[in-house]
Amino acid sequence: MSAEYQDDSIKTLEWQEHIRLRPGMYIGKLGDGSSPDDGVYVLVKEVLDNSIDEYMMGYGKQIELNIDESGKVSVRDYGRGIPLGKVLDVASKMNTGAKYDSKAFKKSVGLNGVGIKAVNALSGQFYIQSFRDKRTKTVTFARGQVVDDLAETDTDQPNGTLTTFVPDELLFGHYQIIPEYLERLLKNYTFLNTGLVVVYNSVRYVSRNGLLDLLDDNMNSPGLYDPIHLKGEDIELAICHGTQYGEEYYSFANGQFTPQGGTHQQAFREAYVKTVREFFHKDYDASDIRSSIIAAISIKVQEPMFESQTKTKLGSKEMSPGSDLTVSKFIGDFVKKELDNYLHRHPDTTDAIRQKIEESEKERKAMSNIKKLARERAKKASLHNRKLRDCRVHFTDSKHEKFLDSTLFITEGDSASGSITKSRDVNTQAVFSLRGKPLNTFGMTKRVVYENEEFNLLQAALDIEEDIENLRYNRVVIATDADVDGMHIRLLLITFFLQFFPDLIRKGHLYILQTPLFRVRNKKETHYCYSGEERAKALKKLGSSAEITRFKGLGEISPDEFVGFIGANIRLDPVKLSKTDMIQELLTFYMGKNTPDRQHFIIGNLRIEEDLLEEAPVN
């Protein structure tokens, strides 16, 4: 019998109800804070964007961000302050804001009047206070509902806005805020707004050299030449080449970091290739011209179009609505003129670029036959049957909303991969099974990626051979046993990615799966514990007579139990990479052939696990 379709079937939701019911439409995803694109960071960014827009309009040189241990976030700027009569509306009425008027906010980050309302609706507590011309107005909310709408009062505080919120645990659960992710966000703000001071929990961030500082902050070793820095009206570029594999881009539109690129990034990639070919009068292959490039591009357009509310990819084709000047032509003309002039004036840089192109060309040609054979082997190996248990829907286009939920678990051994395979969500979770320990690839060339069956098939499963943008899974999770062998496999896989696909780590796609070490239970309750501390708490609650099971491997955890560890409550440790991580030095020490030095280090840092000394009953 079909469902009744009557008048009462039609429902109208209040604005906050809709945001809370469909948060993905507004912030991409909720998440637990382990990924840089999780919702808690989007909430912080939405508030900061308003303060950045004030600075871009010439008001307020400092922004203060504070986050306490409870997760309460406070942002104070010193801009003009929200007009006091509109404080309530700005925080609680959809499609309300000054950014519809291009005279008040030219080339702004946010244009839809949604961001701050989404933060309000998704916060357990939300507080907004405006300071304007010696008067102040405060409104307090809980989950988007007004709690207190206070009358205006006098104040001696300087103009600006203070916004404080606590993400709602009913939605975000037990979330974490990883400082490194926010530091990257804040640094990007300062790189794009020279002179802006951002203070995060008393740490000061400021940039004097714009995108040059960004390149310096992201390069782990010196480039092949001094970075090229080009600036014009509404555009800034910084370009260099390193020794890493692949291409590395940092693109921005109206001060918004666009990690998925978009029309501006693609226009730059094409313009760079065209200009270099014309300068050298040689039809070099595009992949050779861009090999090992690291570049940053920032443009400003009027009324930018992004492909989602989270603004991770620019979709604008014109510099302003109805304009004949396209983003592609604007960037192409700028690069053709300014880069060509620069190359003529800097012969040392020109020589370094030519040499790099020719080295890449030589390596590419030497690898062509090996790649062909590797692809044939991958087909013969019946990849999708032997090594990869794929999810039902493929996510080759990263703008697909389901891409954010897609995960590939890399595991070792039949029992471990079997447990995950039986427990996973077949719609969004895939499993790649290793056969034994992978090869230590430190110091090897990319030839090994194609000649080694395991790495050739893994690369094919991820679809990252040609471009990291083709990545088929948002999260690549190393899932190994919590023992010495498992740790070794983790190191070998991380070494592989650092050596040949560092962007997978830089862009926040690589994780380590946490699995429980202990199960503590009595006849009434069961607790899964990820550390000795959690086990002690469980014992205190259940009593010393409780049964304790120590899980030594993933295969020992039944599929019925495992489903709870890779579902909504999954615990992931992100593998992070920053400039302070000297990749070559780290890999040389830990994965190189300096056996005596490493042996002395291990002996000097040897410790006995407290768990082995405790005499709690273990089954």
| Residues 20-34, mean pLDDT to the nearest whole number | 85
Tell me how far apart the alpha carbons of residues 398 and 594 are, in angstroms, rounded to a whole number: 41
| Residues 110-114, mean pLDDT to the nearest whole number | 53
Using one digit for the tens of pLDDT, what is the confidence trace for 295-311? 999 999 888 887 765 67
- Residue that wins the pLDDT comparison between 43 and 378: 43
Residue 487 has a pLDDT of 85
Residue 562 has pLDDT above 70, yes or no: yes
Asked which of 167-181, 239-253, 385-399, 417-431 is least confident by mean pLDDT, the reply is 385-399
Residue 43 has pLDDT above 70, yes or no: yes
Residue 618 has a pLDDT of 46
Residue 245 has pLDDT above 90, yes or no: no
| Residues 431-454, mean pLDDT to the nearest whole number | 85
Asked which of 133-142, 232-241, 536-545 is least confident by mean pLDDT, the reply is 536-545
Residue 99 has a pLDDT of 53
| Residues 196-217, mean pLDDT to the nearest whole number | 95
Residue 366 has pLDDT above 90, yes or no: no
Residue 582 has pLDDT above 50, yes or no: yes
Which amino acid is present at 171?
L
Using one digit for the tens of pLDDT, what is the confidence trace for 312-344? 788 888 888 777 889 999 999 999 999 999 999
Q: What domains sit in the chain, N to C, each tagged with a CATH number? A: 15-205 (3.30.565.10), 211-365 (3.30.230.10), 381-515+553-581 (3.40.50.670)
Q: Taking phi first (over 0 means left), then psi (-120 to 50 degrees means alpha), and beta for anything else, what does residue 113 get?
A: left
> 165: exposed, middle or buried (C-beta count within 10 Å: 0-12, 13-18, 19+)?
buried
Residue 100 has a pLDDT of 44
Residue 2 has a pLDDT of 57
Sheet strands (E) in 254-292: 256-257
What DSSP element (H or E) covers 610? helix 610-613
- Residue that wins the pLDDT comparison between 100 and 263: 263
Q: Residue 263 has what DSSP assignment? A: H
Identify the band that residue 112 occupies on the pLDDT scale cut at 50, 70 and 90: very low
Number of Cα atoms under 13 Å in the Cβ half of residue 67: 15
DSSP-derived 3-state class of residue 194: coil
Q: What is the DSSP string of 461-496?
A: HHT-SS-GGG-S-SEEEEE--SSHHHHHHHHHHHHH
Q: What is the DSSP string of 56-77?
A: HTT--SEEEEEE-TT--EEEEE
- The dihedral sign for the CA sequence 447, 448, 453, 455: negative
Residue 619 has a pLDDT of 47
| Residues 454-477, mean pLDDT to the nearest whole number | 87
Residue 54 has pLDDT above 70, yes or no: yes
Q: Which of 45, 18, 29, 17 is nearest to 115 (CA)?
A: 45
Residue 616 has pLDDT above 60, yes or no: no
Residue 206 has pLDDT above 90, yes or no: yes
Query: Tokens for 505?
Result: 């780590």
Residue 309 has a pLDDT of 59
Residue 104 has a pLDDT of 43
Query: Tokens for 396?
Result: 């080759």
Using one digit for the tens of pLDDT, what is the confidence trace for 277-292? 999 999 999 999 999 9
In the chain, pLDDT over 70 holds for what percent of residues?
A: 86
Residue 397 has a pLDDT of 47
| Residues 568-592, mean pLDDT to the nearest whole number | 72
Residue 21 has pLDDT above 90, yes or no: no
| Residues 52-72, mean pLDDT to the nearest whole number | 92
Task: Give yes or no for a contact between 476 and 504, defined as CB atoms under 8 angstroms apart.
Answer: yes
| Residues 190-205, mean pLDDT to the nearest whole number | 95
Identify the band that residue 478 occupies on the pLDDT scale cut at 50, 70 and 90: very high
**Helix boundaries (H) for 158-246:** 169-172, 179-192, 211-218
Identify the band that residue 231 occupies on the pLDDT scale cut at 50, 70 and 90: very high
Distances (CA, A) of 370 to 295, 451, 538: 29, 7, 55
Residue 110 has a pLDDT of 52
- Angle of CA points 403, 408, 411, to nearest 5°: 170
> 89: exposed, middle or buried (C-beta count within 10 Å: 0-12, 13-18, 19+)?
middle
Tell me how far apart the alpha carbons of residues 102 and 486 are, in angstroms, rounded to a whole number: 56
